[in-house]
Amino acid sequence: MKDAAPQTIYLADYAPFDFLVDKVDLTFRLEPRATRVISRISFRPNPASSGTRFFLHGENLRLIHARLDGVDVQPRIVEGGLECDVPDTPFVWEAEVEINPESNTALEGLYMSNGMYCTQCEAEGFRKITYYPDRPDVLAPFDVRIESDLPVLLSNGNKGAAGDGFAEWSDPWPKPAYLFALVAGDLVNLPGSFTTRSGKPVDLNIWVRPGDEDKCAFAMEALKTAMSWDEQVYGREYDLDIFNIVAVDDFNMGAMENKGLNIFNSSCVLASPQTSTDANYERIESIIAHEYFHNWTGNRITCRDWFQLCLKEGLTVYRDQMFSADLRGHGVKRIEEVGALRARQFREDSGPLAHPVRPDSFVEINNFYTATVYEKGAELIGMLRTLVGDKAYYKALDLYFDRHDGDAATIEGWLKVFQDATGRDLTQFKRWYAQAGTPRLSVSETFADGTYTLTFRQDIPATPGQAHKKPMVIPIAVGLLSPNGDEIVPTTVLEMTEAEQSFTFDGLGAKPVASILRGFSAPVILTRDASRAERAFLLAHDTDEFNRWEAGRTLSKDVLIGMIAKGEDPDRGLIDGIGAVLSDGALDPSFRAKVLALPSEDDLAQSLHDAGVVPDPAAIRDHREALRDSIRMGLSRVLEELYDEMETPGAYTPSPKDVAKRNLRHAALSLLTLGDGGKRAAALFGQADNMTDELSALMQLIHAGCGTEPVHAFYEKWKHDRLVIDKWFAIQISCAAPDAVADIARELTEHPDFDWKNPNRFRAVAGALAAHHAGFHNISGAGYRLLADMLIQLDPMNPQTAARMSTAFETWPRYDADRQAMIKTELERIAASSGLSRDMSEMVGRMLSA
Ligand code: B3K
Ligand code: ZN
């Protein structure tokens, strides 16, 4: 629990801190229950501020003593920190506080994980370590001394003196407190090295618990690849002598970009063929890159206040997406990005938790590390690049790095570099940062006398606190195909600025087929009255990989909605279209696997809701399964052939080529299992020498109802490995029949290996429960009750992770009155539980007020 009366913070109230910090010296005397933190901080009045209030944030600290310029003082302890009378000239503040890392289950501030000390300060965790102006616009160089008997003592920056029981670190780059980090433990390292393009050698290390050192090589390679990619593509070099990464088991998110000392959830760094899936490898590669890229976009240039979070997160996600696309293929990666955007951000944007990419108020900032800030934030960067062109994009980025290096910057500063570098007025574009809600883009077409006209209309739905919206700038990438499938107009970007606007193409011999929103050039929902034949045509002929897949997706959706809402039969044209793509050996197997995957149940529920139909989760599941089975029957021969042809002989590698083959092979297996009683899956499970095959086979065996024995065998084989056992927890839920989901999940929370204090384990169960659409929304309400029980139990221990998981309820307005009432009851039950955290009370309040 944080404070009694949660306050709303407003962007409009921003004011700079009244003092500047010239230098921070910290000494840590580490003890599990009574760590002493001694701070010595040089302050001076801030000439940019007229105020004189010396307020330092602090939470759960026991103040031992405080001094001003060496003289003992008695500061006033106030809500959220302390105040003290100070001179109007430079002065030195000294304080000694005591904290209890062992009791810190919120995993924010300094805490312990399996005997190791670890920190997480973003966003506001440093105030749990010592009294400080814990805000991102206060930057200072930090020197740190750590005293402990533990063998490895790490902090930010470059190494200083070290000896028996101590180590010193010095970070010359001024940074906000949220980038502070400290790690101490019995750790071993995989060392590496990198020479920057200007010839500066950098020591690299990945620090892990003994026994995990053989699982670091992939992350180390990914780090080096990311370092040289950032030099080549963005001209950014690393700026310290050393770069350390530490893996920790108990962590609230994926990783954290602390200056020179990135801390990672062990699930996002440790990899071996036997214990990690292809998806794990790809995630590690992208998160390693993301945190590294923050060194420039986040650390060298940070945020003025937390409302500007998208400044570093949107841009850094955009950069890591570019990196992954360069490594693993642009088309397929774009399909994945958009899939994730729709599944998480569009969902958020259409419910009670919708908020702008740059919010204008918050109660608990940790609740705003959202898909909107991250993923939609990245889409805005992509649109800017599309609008100004590649050359101007890099020119603007160079100007951004030059102009703002060392700054705590804002979105205004970011847009200004684009205006200055390109001469373009971005006033209208800025609405993307302020207006929440996914724009609906509808299109109609006419053809007469060789002129083809596309008329677009944009509508932005009302969202909490924003009833009316203004038109946005929407870059719409369009290509035209002739009726025989040739491309007659290559990709052209139409710039829509009005609520309704037409664009014409002249001199055409026949009415073309338009491929609209190529590469998903804007984060909008496109509605288009295309016939199934036209969609099938685009699935067969579009030259834009994304839109080719999109044609298949909208066709499948149309067919599924026809089945669910109108009782239609599975469509033969769809099955043939998918079959043609599957058999085209010239196409990337990953792309073919994507075409074979049907829209998710959650996606269908949202589409039905958008079409004015109340979604029935059980019916959605049944019809989707029926269509899968029809595809299996219609394409059995090609699926069988692909299953054999896509085998990857030889030792496992996570290379894009092998991953692509396994993607297609496992997509085929999941359909074939519907008809072979689990025969192929059982054989694969028996032979598998890597986790991708082993887990995929096990999932199919559970689906096929032959799970009990293999589930047990898998547990016995892997019970020593926490990360693999997380998978074991999750798949028993995700592969269960809908009416068994809640019971299975509840039993798993009672398993001896279930650990409330480990966020990965909690997420394995709660996340899988929430992600099982038909199971979570089962009409018994048992899924809702279980999730609420779990949130109520976790909240006092770990508000951040509990609040994050509460978003499972954000889609409640979609469903029927019975389900809505059950969810509301659970949300009210959570709201009424005693000692509710600020995090959870904000989330539940927002969901209930919809
Ligand atoms: N910046 C961190 C996230 C911090 C979340 C605080 N609740 C990791 C990242 O985005 O790279
Ligand atoms: Zn980030």
| Confidence grade of residue 684 (pLDDT, cut at 50, 70, 90) | very high
Distance 320 CA to ligand 2 centre (A): 9
| Confidence grade of residue 304 (pLDDT, cut at 50, 70, 90) | very high
- Calculate ∠ Cα 788-358-762, nearest 5°: 25
User: What pLDDT digit, counting tens, does each position of 427-485 carry?
Assistant: 999 999 999 999 999 999 999 999 999 999 999 999 999 999 999 999 999 999 999 99
| Confidence grade of residue 175 (pLDDT, cut at 50, 70, 90) | very high
Over 80: is that where the pLDDT of 398 sits? yes
Give the active site residue among 291, 601, 810, 842.
291
Ramachandran assignment for 520, one of left (phi > 0), alpha (psi -120 to 50 degrees), beta (any other): left
Over 80: is that where the pLDDT of 1 sits? no
pLDDT of 850: 79
Pocket test for ligand 1, best of 134, 257, 265 (most atoms within 8 A of CB): 257
Distances (CA, A) of 802 to 76, 100, 124, 567: 33, 22, 17, 40
Atom of ligand 1 nearest to the CA of 374: 10
Distance 309 CA to ligand 2 centre (A): 9
Mean pLDDT of the chain: 98
The model carries a pTM of 0.99
Decide: 694 and 620 in contact? Cβ < 8 Å. no
| Confidence grade of residue 174 (pLDDT, cut at 50, 70, 90) | very high
Q: Which residue has its alpha carbon closest to ligand 1 atom 10?
A: 313
Over 60: is that where the pLDDT of 84 sits? yes
pLDDT of 58: 98
Cα(799)–Cα(59) distance, integer angstroms = 15
Mean of the pLDDT values across residues 377-381? 99
Pocket test for ligand 1, best of 256, 296, 310, 365 (most atoms within 8 A of CB): 256
Q: Identify the bridge partners of residue 21 per DSSP, sorted by sequence position.
A: 43
pLDDT of 3: 45
Mean of the pLDDT values across residues 52-70? 98
Distance 313 CA to ligand 2 centre (A): 5
Pocket test for ligand 1, best of 313, 317, 366, 374 (most atoms within 8 A of CB): 313
pLDDT of 429: 98
Atom of ligand 1 nearest to the CA of 313: 10
| Confidence grade of residue 574 (pLDDT, cut at 50, 70, 90) | very high
Cα(757)–Cα(761) distance, integer angstroms = 8
* Ligand whose nearest atom lies closest to the CA of 759: 1
Distance 291 CA to ligand 2 centre (A): 6
What percent of the chain stands above pLDDT 90?
99
Q: Which residue has its alpha carbon closest to ligand 1 atom 7?
A: 366
pLDDT of 5: 67
Decide: 505 and 452 in contact? Cβ < 8 Å. yes
Q: Identify the bridge partners of residue 273 per DSSP, sorted by sequence position.
A: none
Give the count of alpha carbons within 13 A of 840, CB side only: 29
Residues ≥6 apart with Cβ < 8 Å to 567: none
Decide: 788 and 826 in contact? Cβ < 8 Å. yes
Give yes or no for a cis peptide into 123 (omega within 30° of 0).
yes
Cα(136)–Cα(779) distance, integer angstroms = 46
- Element (H or E) spanning 478, and its range? strand 474-481
What percent of the chain stands above pLDDT 70?
99
Look up residue 79 and give its two tokens.
Answer: 């809500």
Distance 718 CA to ligand 2 centre (A): 32
Q: Does ligand 1 lie within 6 Å of residue 290's CB atom?
A: yes
Over 50: is that where the pLDDT of 40 sits? yes
Q: Which residue has its alpha carbon closest to ligand 1 atom 4?
A: 122
CB atoms within 10 A of CB 373: 25
Q: Does ligand 1 lie within 6 Å of residue 251's CB atom?
A: no
SS3 state of residue 317: helix
Q: Does ligand 1 lie within 6 Å of residue 291's CB atom?
A: yes
Mean of the pLDDT values across residues 821-848? 98
Residues ≥6 apart with Cβ < 8 Å to 243: 194, 202, 203, 204, 205, 223, 260, 262, 292
Domains of the chain: 9-267 (2.60.40.1730), 302-434 (1.10.390.10), 440-529 (2.60.40.1840)
| Confidence grade of residue 6 (pLDDT, cut at 50, 70, 90) | confident
Atom of ligand 1 nearest to the CA of 366: 7
Percent helix / strand / coil, the chain, rounded to 5: 45, 20, 30
Cα(506)–Cα(489) distance, integer angstroms = 11
Distance 306 CA to ligand 2 centre (A): 13
Q: Does ligand 1 lie within 6 Å of residue 257's CB atom?
A: yes
Catalytic residue flag (residue 291): yes
646-680 in b/e form (b: 16+ CB < 10 A) is bebeeebebebebbbbbbbbbbbbbbbbbebebeb
